[in-house]
């Protein structure tokens, strides 16, 4: 069969009259070679090979699905649900976790209060904001988004034998939220296995976090701060802003070598914070939630109130942190074991602390000093050290020394 070199050989050696050479070249290259040889001849061979090697049934996967008519697309919910699916995959010795989201425009949310800030017109923006968190799942496979319960049901009916479901089919048919029972499930897994699977950041996200700290924190100590200031939902959980202002002003005088990285959006915090030279708003740099969590992971320690990022630190034993306003979440599942003063069984008790009371100026200063004095600063500095060349990774197209950085 004729290939490209043969075509050029015919034309070059005047085996075709000059007037017919352009048409002959076109016909050989695009019709004879591409259509008949590559598509039909080679294609038939590839098709037969694929069919002969196709397995009868693939290895089972976990299907972790969230129906937003029962739940909200919140950072904390997604992290907690992912951890549950990771534990489930360990129990069944499964390597891959597929994730499905269901948002039915006819039945948006179970709680009408959510419609004050999330609606069918902006739901996709909230969903896409949380999607990067899926990258932290080391077993992530495929991701599906269904725009109706009926379309998901059709998919489930066709593929249910291929999956271990999270939550179970019983929970789904009874409209139980994916936010329910996660901590109890994870706790029981830990008590049985004596370990927790871990969220993992890809190398390029780790490098991004280190480059961000090198550029914006320099030789100071980075402390991430989670402030909650949602005016639409769960106002009782919002931060006491004057208390946090007191801490920042205190550290400006006592610890000028500390930079606070605020994870909240700029429009959620008072403008007074803007005048503080030791405060930096991470969201000013259009970070993703995955990048925010990587900053939490790679900072000296973390402080805040219980909300989204807390769900990340809750499942670790190597991040120093102190969080306030802890409350009995998911009461129907956790009421027997998660009570005031409770710690998670996997928790590292010394550098990880949960405080059930609201924050005050005095308590913030006390906990800050405890963490600052008891965290290994030298080891932290060594861990985040990168070269000047690597620090340039922050800028698109993310190239170091003229070569793309590949994770």
Highest mean pLDDT among 43-47, 56-60, 124-128, 237-241: 237-241
Cα–Cα nearest to 177, from 69, 70, 333: 70
The percent of residues in the chain predicted with pLDDT above 90, rounded, is 54
Per-residue model confidence (pLDDT) at position 277: 94
What are the b/e assignments for 262-277, b being 16+ CB within 10 Å? bbbeeebbeeebeeee
Cα–Cα nearest to 58, from 159, 145, 134, 184: 159
Predicted confidence (pLDDT) at residue 232 exceeds the cutoff of 70: no
| Fold classification of 203-400 (topology level) | Rossmann fold (3.40.50)
Q: Do domains 61-193 and 203-400 have the same CATH topology?
A: yes
The CATH number given to 61-193 is 3.40.50
Per-residue model confidence (pLDDT) at position 5: 57
Predicted confidence (pLDDT) at residue 296 exceeds the cutoff of 80: yes
**For the chain, domain boundaries:** 4-53, 61-193, 203-400
Beta strands 301-305 and 321-324, pairing class: parallel
Per-residue model confidence (pLDDT) at position 361: 97
Instruction: Give me the count of residues in the chain.
Output: 407
**pLDDT (tens digit, 9 = 90+) per residue, 130-170?**
899 999 999 999 999 998 889 999 999 999 999 999 999 88
Per-residue model confidence (pLDDT) at position 256: 97
Per-residue model confidence (pLDDT) at position 335: 82
Cα–Cα nearest to 27, from 2, 57, 59, 56: 2
């Amino acid at each position: 069969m004729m290939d490209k070199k043969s075509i050029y050989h015919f034309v070059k050696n005047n085996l075709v009259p000059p007037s017919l050479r352009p048409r002959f070249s076109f016909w050989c290259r695009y019709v004879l070679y591409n259509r008949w040889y590559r598509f039909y001849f080679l294609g038939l061979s590839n098709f037969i090979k694929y069919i002969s090697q196709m397995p009868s049934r693939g290895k089972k996967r976990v299907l972790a699905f969230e129906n937003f008519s029962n739940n909200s697309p919140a950072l904390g919910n997604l992290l907690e649900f992912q951890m549950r699916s990771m534990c489930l995959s360990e129990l069944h010795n499964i390597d891959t976790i597929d994730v499905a989201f269901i948002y039915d425009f006819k039945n948006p949310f179970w709680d009408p209060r959510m419609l004050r800030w999330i609606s069918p017109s902006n739901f996709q923006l909230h969903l896409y904001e949380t999607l990067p968190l899926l990258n932290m799942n080391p077993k992530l496979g495929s991701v599906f988004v269904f725009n109706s319960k009926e379309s998901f049901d059709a998919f489930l009916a066709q593929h249910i034998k291929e999956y271990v479901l999270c939550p179970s089919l019983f929970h789904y048919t009874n409209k139980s939220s994916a936010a329910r029972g996660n901590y109890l499930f994870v706790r029981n897994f830990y008590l049985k296995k004596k370990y927790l699977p871990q969220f993992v950041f890809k190398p390029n996200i780790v490098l991004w976090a280190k480059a961000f700290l090198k550029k914006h924190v320099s030789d100071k100590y980075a402390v991430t701060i989670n402030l909650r200031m949602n005016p639409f939902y769960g106002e009782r959980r919002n931060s006491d802003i004057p208390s946090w202002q007191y801490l920042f002003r205190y550290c400006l005088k006592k610890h000028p070598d500390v930079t606070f990285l605020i994870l909240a959006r700029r429009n959620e915090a008072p403008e007074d914070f803007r005048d503080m030279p030791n405060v930096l708003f991470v969201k000013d740099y259009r970070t993703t939630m995955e990048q925010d969590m990587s900053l939490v992971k790679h900072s000296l320690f973390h402080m805040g109130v219980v909300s989204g990022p807390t769900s990340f630190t809750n499942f670790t034993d190597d991040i120093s942190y102190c969080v306030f306003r802890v409350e009995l979440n998911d009461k129907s599942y956790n009421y027997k074991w998660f009570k005031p003063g409770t710690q998670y069984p996997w928790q590292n008790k010394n550098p990880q602390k949960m405080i059930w009371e609201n924050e005050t100026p005095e308590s913030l200063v006390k906990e800050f000093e405890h963490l600052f004095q008891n965290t290994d600063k030298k080891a932290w500095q060594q861990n985040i050290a990168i070269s000047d060349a690597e620090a340039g990774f922050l800028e698109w197209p993310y190239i170091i020394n003229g070569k793309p950085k590949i994770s």
